[in-house]
Structure 1
Amino acid sequence: MDNIEKFNTIATLAVANYDIQFQEIKFLAEETNILYKLTDDKSNPFILKIYQEDSITKEDILMEVYMMELVSQKGEVSVPCILTAKDGSKIQEIKIDEDNHPKRVVIYSWLEGEDLDGNENEERFVQLGELTAKLHNATYGATVPKIFSPKRWDAVFYYHQENVVYKDSKYQHFLTKDYHEIMDKMIPYLNHQLSSYYQKNEENLQFIHSDLNPWNILVHEKAMHVIDFGDILFGLPQHDIAILLYYYRYEKEFNYKEVQQLLFKGYERVRPLPMFEEFDLELLMTARRVNFLNYILTVSEDPSSFIEKSLPRVKEFIDTYNVKI
């Protein structure tokens, strides 16, 4: 059984566990996870996700469900709703052979829209600031259930089972002495700084999205939706803000400072902007960049272009803030 056939079988078995009469199951995309578009007998669309990575645990998915329901209950941010199966469960575990672990499957309501990427303008950036603030309002003060151990961005490599691979021999033809010197020195420095944010701000920690990027924001007419809560962590609102700004920091078609001010303007319409300095945002963006400088080696056949662009940006942070490493 090839992969597509296997995933088709998993999707078919999963939808049988719901009361909804699905008429069509259509393969949509293979990204980090496998996505299908479903259509019921009333022509309503849904999306089915098959979690592909073994590093994603059932607890991770339950936390995703928990946060989405928190946000949905507030009613101010448009997010997908997770469907409940006949047995009351949100997550299906489908096993089709004895040689593989069960695949976890979730079905969401469909949200109409296009990626924010390519649809940005001043009005959208202000709206995005408002949306981010409403998202933070929705989870502010929520307690962490005892069954959860959410990720914290207190180190450069903070994902579960994340492999630090840049020392592996098979990647060395892509890497220079300069790359190694910067990574070797910056990682301990950034780890110390990232950890200090938690030590100094324990009372301000809350669930955050942690992957607000232009592909996880959908726009449709005047509406804006947030999707993909798979990377949530227990952190600070400024973590989300820095991650969002990361994607515009060096984009030539945008004036970064204008984007920043528009986002802040929208955010402050809803709630006060968190206390941080420009240094804090730049440090968080640099930490993400250093993480990606390792991660890119595992997902790209030729990471040279990303490395050539990103390494000077890490150096720029070091020089601008006279970082001693």
Structure 2
Amino acid sequence: MSSTTPTDLFLSLTPHKVIEAVEAAGVLCNRVCYPLNSFENRVYEVECEDRTRIIAKFYRPGRWSRSQILEEHRFLAELADAEIPVCPTRPFPDGETLKQIDHIQYCLFQRTGGRAPDELGDDMFARLGRLTARIHNVGAAGTAEHRVRLSADSYAREDLGWLAERKVIPAGAERRYLAAARAVADVAEERLSGVEAHRIHGDLHPGNLLLRDGALHVLDFDDMVVGPAVQDLWLLLPGRDAVARRQREIFIEGYEELRRFDRSTLALVEPLRGLRMIHYAAWIARRWHDPIFPRTFPHFGAEAYWHDEASALEEVLELSRAGGAAPPDEGADEAPPSGTKYFWDLN
């Protein structure tokens, strides 16, 4: 019996195997297949027999269950039915949206052209506010019992336990990092208590927007969670300076044209930022066996890396306790603050 695991097969996916999987599901292809940029999953552009192009997405084994993936697909279908510009799955000829080959689950999407916006101006943030509100209206109208709920446990404490158990953090930085991270988790848990949660995108950063000829699409619901609406706001606007705060107001004004926004949840921005940083660091550590990760994150794991992360989390704590705003003389001309390289999956 072969000792090859689904993870081994996933890491060694080839264009030939991708085409074989797509054709096994009933879609005839030409021998044209290109890998697309994605860390967490494997994503390919495939040419069908009629020369149209589709996107084949292969889910990393062990990350999501079949039930969790199908809840993502159902949410996308509901959004598309509400005429919200997303990219829903393309059903296979038998009507299903999820197939499996060699214990690797995969689905298809219709190819949508465009690129991430170069700049997001005031008009775009007002537009994104309205679009996010429409997504949240649909999200709040249904449930996702199998998806992750964004919490201090799921986005921090479980990861910290995993990091500590495997001695991932160098001894010289471990105590400081864990103390800061656990304090962030405690603040996040307190602030999240009683806050309304529903289905949200969960990873709504500018890289998951697609713009072409003025048409805007929202991509990649792979990290869809049950969480607070403000998560989708701060990821689009992660900055701490006066410009970012003004643009948040523009976003909220657009959002409130279609759905009420609880402004008290803006106090969650810094704690949510901290949870994201913890979750991101653990994500890299969990994926280190994948050859793309050491190549992409060459400085990860060094003691200096963890001290930098601890400093960023300590900053999050300080700002959380101060109400979330940077001092008026700081950050006026800065891009998003430290710790913002946490936008992990491009597809």
Count of aligned positions: 301
1:157-189 CA-partner distances (Å, limit 9, x unpaired): 349985634424342157264323222333234
Structure 1 residues 305-314 or 129-138, which shifts more?
A: 305-314
The question of whether the paired residues in 1 share the 8 Å contact of 2:180 and 2:314 is answered with no
The question of whether the paired residues in 2 share the 8 Å contact of 1:125 and 1:263 is answered with yes
Tell me which amino acid in the other structure corresponds to 1:208. I
1:1-325 to structure 2, matched below 5 A, reads 6-23=13-30, 24-75=32-83, 77-95=84-102, 102-116=103-117, 118-144=118-144, 148-158=145-155, 162=159, 164-167=161-164, 168-172=166-170, 175=173, 177-194=175-192, 196-198=193-195, 201=196, 205-245=197-237, 248-250=238-240, 255-298=243-286, 300-303=297-300, 304=304, 307=309, 310-321=312-323
Distance across 2 between alignment mates of 1:58 and 1:2: 18
After superposition, the Cα gap between the structure-2 partners of 1:164 and 1:302, relative to the gap in structure 1 and judged at 3 Å, is: farther
Tell me which amino acid in the other structure corresponds to 1:48. A
Deviation at 1:296, TM superposition (A): 4.8
The question of whether the paired residues in 2 share the 8 Å contact of 1:64 and 1:232 is answered with yes
Tell me which amino acid in the other structure corresponds to 2:81. Q
User: Partner of 1:43: helix, strand, or coil?
Assistant: coil
Distance across 1 between alignment mates of 2:180 and 2:159: 20
After superposition, the Cα gap between the structure-2 partners of 1:293 and 1:270, relative to the gap in structure 1 and judged at 3 Å, is: same
Q: Where do 5+ consecutive residues of structure 1 fail to align? A: 96-101
Name the counterpart of 2:343: none
User: Partner of 1:29: helix, strand, or coil?
Assistant: coil
After superposition, the Cα gap between the structure-2 partners of 1:266 and 1:43, relative to the gap in structure 1 and judged at 3 Å, is: farther
Distance across 2 between alignment mates of 1:18 and 1:2: 18
The question of whether the paired residues in 2 share the 8 Å contact of 1:20 and 1:40 is answered with yes
Tell me which amino acid in the other structure corresponds to 2:19. T
Tell me which amino acid in the other structure corresponds to 2:59. Y
Structure 1 residues 51-60 or 278-287, which shifts more?
A: 278-287
After superposition, the Cα gap between the structure-2 partners of 1:185 and 1:285, relative to the gap in structure 1 and judged at 3 Å, is: closer
The question of whether the paired residues in 1 share the 8 Å contact of 2:26 and 2:93 is answered with yes
1:183-238 CA-partner distances (Å, limit 9, x unpaired): 233323433433x135xx4xxx4211111111111111211111111111223323
After superposition, the Cα gap between the structure-2 partners of 1:159 and 1:36, relative to the gap in structure 1 and judged at 3 Å, is: farther
Question: Percent identical across equivalent pairs?
Answer: 20
Distance across 1 between alignment mates of 2:299 and 2:247: 31
1:247-289 CA-partner distances (Å, limit 9, x unpaired): x225x8x821122122113212332323524323333333323
Deviation at 1:45, TM superposition (A): 2.0
User: Partner of 1:47: helix, strand, or coil?
Assistant: strand
**TM-score between both structures, scaled by the size of structure 2:** 0.75
Q: RMSD of the TM alignment (CA)? A: 3.1
Name the counterpart of 1:99: none
Q: Where do 5+ consecutive residues of structure 2 fail to align? A: 1-7, 289-296, 325-347
User: Partner of 2:189: helix, strand, or coil?
Assistant: helix
After superposition, the Cα gap between the structure-2 partners of 1:78 and 1:17, relative to the gap in structure 1 and judged at 3 Å, is: farther
The question of whether the paired residues in 2 share the 8 Å contact of 1:17 and 1:86 is answered with no
Tell me which amino acid in the other structure corresponds to 1:11. V
User: Partner of 1:317: helix, strand, or coil?
Assistant: helix
Name the counterpart of 1:98: none
Tell me which amino acid in the other structure corresponds to 1:273. F
1:295-320 CA-partner distances (Å, limit 9, x unpaired): 45545442445626623432432541
After superposition, the Cα gap between the structure-2 partners of 1:292 and 1:143, relative to the gap in structure 1 and judged at 3 Å, is: closer
Distance across 2 between alignment mates of 1:178 and 1:158: 19
Distance across 1 between alignment mates of 2:175 and 2:226: 35
Distance across 2 between alignment mates of 1:178 and 1:276: 30
Tell me which amino acid in the other structure corresponds to 2:94. D
Distance across 1 between alignment mates of 2:137 and 2:191: 26
User: Partner of 1:38: helix, strand, or coil?
Assistant: strand
User: Partner of 1:26: helix, strand, or coil?
Assistant: strand
Tell me which amino acid in the other structure corresponds to 1:188. D
After superposition, the Cα gap between the structure-2 partners of 1:309 and 1:113, relative to the gap in structure 1 and judged at 3 Å, is: farther
Structure 1 residues 294-303 or 259-268, which shifts more?
A: 294-303
